[in-house]
Amino acid sequence: MTSISSAAATPSGRPLPAAGGAAPRFQPEIQGLRALAVLVVLLYHFWPDRLTGGYVGVDVFFVISGYLITAHLFKEAVKTGGVRLGQFWARRIRRLLPLSLLVLLLTAISAVLILPSTAWQATLRQIIASTLYVQNWILAADAVEYSKADERATAVQHFWTLSVEEQFYVLWPVLLALTLMFLALRQRRSGAPGLERAQIRAAFLWVVGLLGAFSLAFSIYYTAVAPAQAYFVTPTRIWEFTLGAIAALVLGSRQFNGRLGNLLGWVGFLMIAGAAVFYTDATPFPGWTALVPTLGTVLVLVCGGREPGTGVHWWLSLRPATAIGDWSYAIYLWHWPVVIFSPYISEAARFWYIKVLLILGIIGLSALSTRFFETPIRRAKILLPTWRTMAAAGTGMVLVIVSGIVAVSTMQTSSADATLTEDHPCYGYRALANPEECGDPFEGELGLWPSPAVVAEQYQEEAFPGCQADEDTPGVQECWLGAEESEAEGTIAVFGDSHATMWLPALDEIAQEQDKRLLVMTRSACTPRGGEVGEDSSECLKTNTEIIDQVSEDESIETVVLAASQRHGEFGGPSRDLGLDEEEYDLDDSALAMYEPIMTWLEADKEVVVFGEAPRLSNEEESEQTLPECVALNENDLSACNETQEDTRVGDRWLTRSAEVFEDAENYHFVPTEDLVCREDTCYAVLGGAITYSDNSHLAQDFVRTTVPELTDRMESALTRSS
């Protein structure tokens, strides 16, 4: 295996002078490698079930960026003894911001014209984050919020990778500049002459190597403990840039060719392709598994042959490959909005031949925008002064943000229905309860209030912030609602998951009317149940056990309301024998565990109110559409969003079935809930102008408040006995 001198290509594709005065030699295979990376991502986003690991294309880009940028900064450091930060950032801005801001601006305008109103606010929020290059941190934060776990991807979600890159471009030269300052200071103190190339290279390698090692270790750890956040945050990705940086610093302008070098280049190519084919969404990423595509990228960068037909670099240097590489940045920017928007424009977008046409259109648009927009702005002499570049960037970012805000607010104002309010006598469930006065409650003749967009936000913005604990929060978290303590006569406790929390707008009013305090002890994604607690038990089970004991022992708690989702995981049985006839009622361990708190509180002489499971709408496994989104898309035919009652029953519904198990228990009270939204085997998306759900399974806050009189009647026996 032999090495040859080869200059590293700049991100714009122009060659840099080779080290040591050697003749410059451009690396066209880098553009071909970019083409491979962007095509892998493109195919993954159009056919995620076929190319399941196509997301690794992003990691290829990260390694290339580390390789090219570090080579450039090292060359500058050797030549000048420093790093001109302002000029570096200005070049990055002229290269990256114009096209990204154009895509963001057009996406903001297109979103309010194409997407349902339920998607406008989320899209605007992420457009602002993308404009400020903090999108990856927003997505990481959303990944840990239970209310946003099922939120659909926005048209600018792909900007998270650009945010990581921009953060790298900000921090990397600062780190290397500080390293140079330290070296220069040490040289002056020792009286030694100027910095040598070898000194700079060694110092950079130490800094880059240590940073990369820490980042890789953290990436492996964080991917194991918090995979959703680890995928997006910058510290788990820095090591990928450092791989490219180390290659640039160690080898400089050399590459390895010959038979062995070419073989290693093909091995690297196959490592990338293999990861794209065999990795899936279940692969822990970007931990140690990301080493396969990233090390493969390094191999392709530093090893390969140019022999026609057999050389990996020959294939990557062909004009079609380098052309796609030249347009790769634009392709990446344009493709994702097309993926998101196209299904809303036409249902035909799901067909393979339409997807092929869309891909060809994206490539064509990318070629044009690169040639006639990105390149002219990057080379514009008027922007060459650093201060002008910075000023133009700031102006463009403000323009995008303001345009997005104006577009969304204007469309929301024009679509608002001010004629209907929550006080209307036929609003929400009242229309269903008073058919003689209100007529047909299902036709939507009253209009809609609030709008689908507002209803969709309600699930993410809780009616009573802080009243629902996160699944893994240790200890019992209490929240007090209802009547003031000084005026209250007794306490009602609420226990369950988010499907118990959704009833709080009604239960709070009921508690106030009954002069009772409302003690809320709900926890997201935590099925109310008992069971044996051990060292490895979840915080959910540990806390549930504490709550069961606390409620049993608290004499001020007279009534307990229990509610939960009909969907839950499998878990072990109860901590004791409940004395129930398991065969007669066909009870499994999960059922018995869920009945343990009911039995315990009945034995403690509490009034136990069990709410039946709410219907679950839009439940098709392949459907990501929420009910408010469906309503926004079908305001002229709301019946399109209705469901048959049988289709809304998707779980074991052990709480509903508890009515039969405990029917002879004096203190047991069952509150059916299906008929609050369903009649004659149909469950309705809109009742009396109120959208019934804020997602697909949680009832909307405004609708829940309209059920207060009905729920009061259904709970009357429990409330009367506890008084």
Same domain as 459, residue 364 = no
Check whether the bond before 450 is cis (ω within 30° of 0). yes
Same domain membership, residue 452 and residue 395: no
Q: What is the total residue count of the chain?
A: 723
Could you read off the pLDDT of 653-672 as tens digits, one per residue? Answer: 999 999 999 999 999 999 99
Q: Please report, as a single letter, which amino acid is at residue 264.
A: L
Q: Can you tell me whether residue 637 is helix, strand or coil?
A: coil
pLDDT at position 419 is: 67
- Asked if the structure places residue 424 within a domain, the reply is no
Same domain for 474 and 358? no
What CA–CA distance (Å, rounded) separates 316 from 372?
25
- pLDDT at residue 143, as a whole number: 78
**Which pair of structure tokens corresponds to residue 661?**
């198990």
641 lies in some domain: no
Instruction: Measure the CA angle with vertex 47, ends 42 and 49; round to 5°.
Output: 130
10 Å Cβ neighbour count for 622? 4
- CA dist 159 → 104, 265, 362 (Å): 10, 30, 17
The amino acid at residue 157 is Q
According to the model, what pLDDT value does residue 453 have?
A: 86
Q: What confidence score (pLDDT) does residue 110 get?
A: 95
Residues 600 and 676 in one domain: yes
CA gap 416, 559 in Å, rounded: 41
Selection from 78, 559, 1 nearest residue 258 by Cα: 1
Last residue of a domain, which of 376, 407, 438? 407
Q: Give yes or no: residues 184 and 224 share one domain.
A: yes
Burial per residue of 563-578, b for 16 or more beta-carbon CB atoms within 10 angstroms, e otherwise: bbbbbbeebbbbbeeb
Residue 631 is assigned to a structural domain of this protein: no
Please report whether residue 276 resides in a domain.
yes
Q: Supply the Cα-derived Rg of the chain in whole angstroms.
A: 31
- Which tokens is 555 given? 């004499």
Residue 272 shares a structural domain with residue 169: yes
Total count of domains within the chain: 2
The answer on 487 and 402 residing in a single domain is no
Domain that holds residue 32: 2-407
Using 70 as the pLDDT threshold, list the residues of the chain that sit under it: 1-26, 144-151, 191-194, 414-419, 441-446, 620-623, 721-723
Task: Name the pTM for this structure.
Answer: 0.83
State which amino acid sits at residue 188. R
- The answer to whether the peptide bond before residue 597 is cis (omega within 30 degrees of 0) is no
Residues 398 and 433 in one domain: no
Distance CA 417, CA 94 (A): 44
Residue pair 141/153 in contact by the 8 Å Cβ criterion:
no
- For residues 620 and 707, membership in a common domain is answered with yes
Q: Is 413 domain-assigned?
A: no
- Strands 607-611 and 557-563, how do they pair? parallel
What is the pLDDT at residue 444? 56
The CATH number for 662's domain is 3.40.50.1110
- Predicted local confidence at residue 193, as pLDDT: 67
Residue 602 has phi, psi (to 5 degrees) of: -65, -40
Of residues 132, 107, 120, the one with CA closest to residue 335: 107
Q: Give me the pLDDT at residue 553, please.
A: 94
Residue 594 burial by Cβ neighbours in a 10 Å radius (0-12, 13-18, 19+) = buried
Give the separation between CA 29 and CA 314, rounded to whole angstroms: 7
Same domain flag for 403 and 487: no
DSSP string, 260-287: HHHHHHHHHHHHHHHHHHH--TTS--SS
pLDDT at 25: 54
pLDDT at 13: 31
> Is residue 640 situated within a structural domain?
no
Q: What is the per-residue pLDDT across 258-310, written as a single tens digit (0 to 9) for each? A: 899 999 999 999 999 999 999 999 999 999 999 999 999 999 999 999 999 99
Asked if residue 71 and residue 214 are part of one domain, the reply reads yes
Give the alpha-carbon dihedral of 589, 592, 594, 597, to 10 degrees.
-140
* Encoded amino acid at 105, one letter: L
121, two tokens = 């606010």
With helix as H, strand as E and coil as C, how does 26-84 read?
CCHHHHHHHHHHHHHHHHHHHCCCCCCCHHHHHHHHHHHHHHHHHHHHHHHHHHHCCCC
Buried b (16+ CB within 10 A) or exposed e, 671-702: bebbebbbbeeebbbbbbbbbbbbbbbbbbbb
User: Both 309 and 445 in a single domain?
Assistant: no
Virtual torsion, Cα 304, 306, 311, 315, nearest 10 deg:
110
Is 433 inside a domain boundary? Answer: yes
Residue 642 included in any domain:
no
DSSP letters along 195-254, please? PPHHHHHHHHHHHHHHHHHHHHHHHHHHHHH-HHHHTT-GGGTHHHHHHHHHHHHHHTTE
